Amino acid sequence: MPSPPDLNGALDQLSALSTLVIASACAVHLFIFFILWMWARRDLHHIASSLFDFTRGLSQQSVLGSTAHLSDQIDAFLADVDDVLDDPSREEDRKTLIARMNILDERRRYLHSMFFETVYNMARTMIEAYPLAGVLGTILAIGAALQADAGAAGDASVSMIVSRFGDAIWSTFAGLIAAIILMFANSFLETSFGRLAENREHVRHTVARAKRELSFRRKSGGAEE
pLDDT of the chain along its 225 residues, tens only?
444 555 556 666 766 678 888 999 999 999 999 999 999 998 888 888 877 777 777 767 666 665 678 888 888 888 888 887 787 777 787 777 777 776 666 556 666 778 889 999 999 999 999 999 888 887 877 777 666 655 555 444 566 666 666 667 888 888 999 999 999 999 999 998 998 888 888 888 887 777 777 765 555 554 444
At 200, give phi and psi (nearest 5°).
Answer: -60, -45
pTM: 0.77
User: Cα–Cα distance between 200 and 202 in angstroms, integer?
Assistant: 5
Environment class of 164 (CB within 10 Å of its CB; exposed 0-12, middle 13-18, buried 19+): buried
Amino acid at 39: W
User: Cα–Cα distance between 110 and 113 in angstroms, integer?
Assistant: 7
Q: Is the dihedral of CA 119, 121, 124, 126 positive or negative?
A: negative
